[in-house]
A and B are shown apart, each in its own frame.
Chain A
Amino acid sequence: MTTTAEPTTLEFGKARTRKEDARLITGRSRYTDSITLPGMLHLVVVRSPLAHATITGVDKSAAEKAPGVFGVYTAADLGAEGIGLPCAWPITPDQKAPPRPLLASTTVSFAGEGVAVVVARTAGEAKDAAELVEVDYDPLDPILDMEAAAQDGAALVHPDLGTNVSATWVFDSAAAGTGDDVAAAISAAEADADSVVVRRRFRQQRLIPAFMEPRSVVVDPNGEQVTMWSSTQVPHILRTMTTVTTGIPESKLRVIAPDVGGGFGGKIGVVPEEMLTLLVAQKLHKPVKWTETRSESLLAAHHGRDQIQDLTITAKKDGTVTGLDVHLYADMGAYLGLVGPGVPVLGAFMFNAIYKIPAYKFTCTNVFTNKTLTDAYRGAGRPEATFAIERLMDELAVELGRDPLELRKQNWISHEEFPYTTVCGLTYDSGNYEQATDRAVELFDYAGLRREQEERRRNGDKVQLGIGISTFTEMCGLAPSRVLGSLAYGAGGWEAASIRMLATGKVEVITGASGHGQGHETAFSQIVADQLGVPFEDVEVLHGDTQISPKGLDTYGSRSLVVGGIAIVKAAEKVVAKAKKIAAHLLEASEDDIEFNAGQFTVKGTGQGKAIQEIAFAAFMAHDYPEDMEPSLDSDAVYDPENFSFPHGTHLAAMEVDTETGRVTLRHYVCVDDVGNVVNPLIVEGQVHGGLAQGIAQALFEEANYDDQGTLVNGTFVDYTLPSAADLPSFTTEHVSTPATSNPLGVKGVGEAGTIASTPAIVNGVIDALRHLGVKNVEMPCTSQRVWRAIQDARGTATQETPVDTHSPGAGLGSIDPNNPQGEIQ
């Protein structure tokens, strides 16, 4: 026993390599599709090739006779015609929500919607038989243009609803009492010679989350409880929603998310295939597996973004922003996803971003089309908002003839002004935009690059340089249950944790967060090691199984650390409080005289003490413990934060654009992020890198394209062009820290930051390179073709239209450089 409890090295802030790697780098992983049970059958979904059609007949006879087939089922065969998948976010009381069937029975509403399922002994036999299912369709005209669909008199996706508009959601700072009236601000600016009004329309293209592990479900109906393994981000929500959907008692269902290969919001849904696998397994009393192909995943798993943004910003000619008006159309696709309608609402509070804007109004119209439904994709609402305001600040700077960084500085909340309540009524607890920006500018050599840009313009260089800026913030760590309640979100935002002190001194930490690549096992072990003063290696983090972790709200919205991590801290505090009582009892001292430091309970001013492991053992033996407590240190906590967290950062991109070919090259990317205190810098850096890649991919490479029949034309990895290693440079990333004041660790979320920040930085850079040629906008993704067309348009040169059904982003192949053909893919 030590008396002067030497401070041990804290785990917090240490760049620990990850615990979870050991199994993942050796192939000892357990993803859902790797689970095989005795007698297991395989399910394949027969999907509609048409976007909009009436089903006139389903002939199953040939498929039913195929080798190995156990059954071919339509919704009616499964008694599932009345079952609809839930939408958990009615953003308005009168939101229109059509039933979202497990399988279409009478009408198909998007290409890829399931019509029947085939169950067979092997996946191969099921696939073969699925091709024998004859479905007769009467084609209907697909409704594909969200703006046209929102107008009166438009043909309807769901005629029963009488409209394609699901909901219109409004935030008005004047009505909320958090700011002025934006209509008045716009009128005043229009009438004032000393003001400007800038109006722009931007488009958020449709994206696909494209996690690397295709979705997979295994259901074992044998045993007292039904067990469902699913490649999901949300095992707890999935269990509750499966009960809501199918009526199976929640207590009779165990959901396990084993190793999950990425999600990015794409695995936040509760999907038809999960329910179908359950129903079939229950019907046949056999374990059943469904694993999607990549094409199915791209076609039928939910998509993201897809908004049209009409924006008006007003400012004094001295640069002071006076108002912001936002009108969105958001394409929901054919049905409402679990939280899909709320995605634009999550953005509503972020269009004002880091700026002091006195008047603000946000109006969003959610629209149905005959496309795959949209839902959360990394950032969910906030990338859209950040893109809009950061593009707009550049446009305003051009209008006013100001340096875009200076204009931002003039309008942002200065670090002395925190905590600051925004025009949306959110209170930003901490931040220092000057600090992050100054460091980013220094790392980037902003002044030097501006000089080079000037030089290239002067010389009329073929390759022009653009500087893209994004000074972003986001609200994350979803979060305060009361706030979510006020937005009619169908759940709370708390998180649960338990700590079990084992007899041998090891520690089990149970979290309701459900990691799928974030490194929870490592980061949470670091937190607990510090809180309890136990070795990092002695902490085991358990998650992703509703029988092990019975309570939780899972992983999305950068919430795992700032909500789940704090729940763990709270549970650890309770463990220490209990241990202290036992320590005082065993040491025959008053509890007030016991100090706890680095795992040791010591009696003040004496040499006496006991380690927390000794106390755990004493509690286990229970031979001698205080009469007024139970013999256990184990503790539970549920943490519901008081506020969101507000990470921010300054991102700068040096973009080179070949004015002859339109080819865009990201030469250099610098970002300095403030995510508060950092538990593990290695993990934070990895999160930022990955986030950047996805945000850059939106700007340059990715788009889900539909033809005029509503067919997804790039539904494979051949032509839905994820960036490869050759398409991206190395990024310069640093962080600064203004600790969050809303939680005891001072942490802020990091999972979505890179994605939210990077897209406008890239596009601003592309346009900045071409601004002097008269280019005012390039739609995303900024492919060579689009950039080249924008240059031709600016020059007044006529170009041939590209037919929509042959359109492909044509990017993602960064190594195909016309000047460096040896780099082509072999």
Chain B
Amino acid sequence: MAQVRVTVDGVNYADDVEPRMLLVQYLRERLGKTGTLIGCDTSNCGACTVSLNGQSVKSCSVLAVQADGTEVTTIEGLARDGQLHPVQSAFNECHGLQCGYCTPGMIMAAVDLLGDNPDPDEHEVREGIEGNLCRCTGYQNIVRSVQRAAQMMKPGSGVTSEPAPVAGGN
């Protein structure tokens, strides 16, 4: 057993975990963060994407012990004070989800993408979310959602209040 101290969605945890335990297993099985989902075994699908110190990671390719000392934000911690993150709102507004299974990972990847590039064109969005697979939408409305979120997040857009930064992010 190894000890891990980690802040997840604003709560501090200290746990003993098996060294082989993946971060996604720790989140789901130990912390009950079942909003984060598992879609493959090869780090291709991105359903398990979370934010680790402000960077999006596939939590199936991070060991829980590697997350020691970090701050993690999952889909469950993205909305603050009952206020959806603009990316969440945009996915609803633009019908960027159907079955919803890729959605938590897709939203977390999009949050990171917009952190790096606040005004991506269609090509940049498509490249930016390439590591997250969706089988329902054909991606078109996901691309629209991300671009809509970018618009909403522009300073002074008036569309929404400034989103809270993801934990550990700048």
List residues of chain A with CB under 8 Å of any chain B CB.
17-18, 20-31, 33-34, 36, 124, 210-214, 259-262, 264, 293-295, 516-519, 682-683, 685-686, 689-694, 716-718, 722, 724-726, 728, 730-731, 754, 815, 823, 825
Contacts and interface: CB of A to CB of B under 8 A. Distances in A.
Interface string B96-120: 0111111110010000000000000
Nearest to B101: A261
B44 A690 contact: no
Contacts of B129: 724-725
A731 B135 contact: no
B35 A716 contact: no
Interface in B70-107: 74-76, 78-79, 84, 88, 91-93, 95, 97-104, 107
Contact of B130 (A25, A261, A724, A730): A724
Contact of A730 (B74, B75, B122): B122
Nearest to A813: B130
A212 B133 contact: yes
27 contacts: A18-B95, A20-B100, A21-B91, A21-B100, A24-B103, A25-B97, A25-B103, A27-B74, A28-B76, A29-B104, A33-B37, A213-B37, A261-B39, A293-B41, A294-B40, A294-B42, A685-B95, A686-B95, A686-B141, A689-B138, A690-B135, A717-B42, A722-B133, A725-B127, A725-B134, A726-B126, A726-B127
B45 interface: yes
Given A25-B100, A33-B37, A689-B140, 6 more contacts: A17-B93, A26-B78, A27-B36, A716-B42, A725-B134, A726-B126
Q: Which 4 A-B pairs have the closest CB atoms?
A: A27-B35, A517-B99, A261-B101, A24-B100
Contacts of B141: 685-686, 689
A244 B37 CA distance: 33
Contacts, number: 179
A823 B35 CA distance: 31
Contact of B44 (A21, A716, A725): A716
A210 B135 contact: yes
Contacts of B29: 36
A694 B135 contact: yes
Interface of B: 18, 20, 28-29, 33-42, 44-45, 47, 74-76, 78-79, 84, 88, 91-93, 95, 97-104, 107, 122, 125-127, 129-143
B99 A717 contact: no
Nearest to A822: B127
Nearest to A214: B39
Contact of B34 (A34, A210, A213, A726): A34
A25 B34 CA distance: 13
B56 to A, nearest CB: 13
A29 B35 contact: yes
Contacts of A21: 91-92, 97, 100
User: Which secondary structure dominates where chain B touches chain A?
Assistant: loop
Contacts of A259: 99-100
A682 B88 CA distance: 17
Contact of A726 (B42, B75, B88, B130): B130
B99 A683 contact: no
A725 B130 contact: yes
A517 B88 contact: no
A693 B102 CA distance: 16
A212 B102 contact: yes
B138 A731 contact: yes
A825 B35 contact: no
Given A25-B92, A26-B79, A731-B140, A31 B101 contact: yes
Contact of B99 (A261, A295, A722, A815): A261
B26 to A, nearest CB: 12
Contact of B134 (A30, A212, A823): A212
A618 B93 CA distance: 38
Contacts of A20: 100
Contact of A27 (B33, B42, B98): B33
Q: Which of B28, B33, B34, B74 is most buried by chain A, counting CB atoms within 10 A of its CB?
A: B34
Contacts of B40: 294, 716-717
Nearest to B133: A722
Contacts of A716: 40-42, 44
Given A31-B37, A262-B136, A725-B139, A22 B92 contact: yes
A498 B95 CA distance: 28
A17 B84 CA distance: 15
Nearest to A686: B95
B99 A212 contact: yes
Contact of A260 (B42, B74, B78, B99): B99
